[in-house]
Amino acid sequence: MVADFTASTVPSRSDGQVDRAAQRLGLIAAAGELATTMGLVPWGQGEARGAAAWALAQWIEGRGGTEPAEARQAVEQVRLFIEQHGESRFDPLGDPDARSVNNRAGWRKGSGPDREWLVPPEVWKSEICNGLDPTMVAKVLAERGMLLRGGDGFQPVRKIDGANKRVYVVTANIFAGCGDES
């Protein structure tokens, strides 16, 4: 009964955490259905299962979807950093009259949907991805089109102030959403 409940209520490609929660709620559903069959509770057949399915749906909605929590956190953390510091800590490229920013986190170029933030590896690791695995963050963002890949990894080479530098390139898609497909 638990396996049937899990198979029928867990959306495909869900994180393992969702599957484990469904198993626990499936156990509750099975116990409720058995109690109904034995006449121990006044519920109709299927009510316990329906209640457990509703609880799972509410839990999934409350956690923000079926993707791994770490992936959602990665997107949210990078988005927050750019929201907080997008203009104040990123030097504009291609504007020789712009004043240099204090405590630079990188560079920015373009506007609107073409906007990009170029982040040196040290800042990516120590500030933007603080507390997270920087490679995992880069992978999650690249899979969602929020980070441009280089030919050999996550850091394409860009010309900045006349020199070639490897940087992480975050695109304006960072503000498009978390990409949860549930």
Each residue's pLDDT tens digit, 3-20: 999 999 999 889 899 999
Range of the domain at 98: 69-175
User: Domain check: are 88 and 41 in the same one?
Assistant: no
User: Domain check: are 106 and 165 in the same one?
Assistant: yes
Beta-strand pair 90-92/106-109: parallel
Examine residue 181 and state whether it is found in any structural domain, yes or no: no
Asked whether 78 and 170 are in contact (CB, 8 A), the reply is: yes
**pTM for the whole thing?**
0.70
| Total number of domains in the chain | 2
User: Domain check: are 113 and 25 in the same one?
Assistant: no
What stretches of 38-130 show up as alpha helix (H) in DSSP? 47-63, 69-85, 121-123
At 177 the pLDDT is 58
At 100 the pLDDT is 81
In 67-132, at which residue ranges do the beta strands (DSSP E only) sit? Answer: 90-92, 106-109, 116-119
Low-confidence ranges of the chain (pLDDT < 50): 178-182
At 113 the pLDDT is 93
User: Domain check: are 16 and 84 in the same one?
Assistant: no
User: Domain check: are 108 and 167 in the same one?
Assistant: yes
Examine residue 182 and state whether it is found in any structural domain, yes or no: no
At 73 the pLDDT is 92
| Domain end marker among 19, 47, 63 | 63
Asked whether 144 and 137 are in contact (CB, 8 A), the reply is: no
User: Domain check: are 111 and 144 in the same one?
Assistant: yes
At 180 the pLDDT is 42
User: Domain check: are 45 and 88 in the same one?
Assistant: no
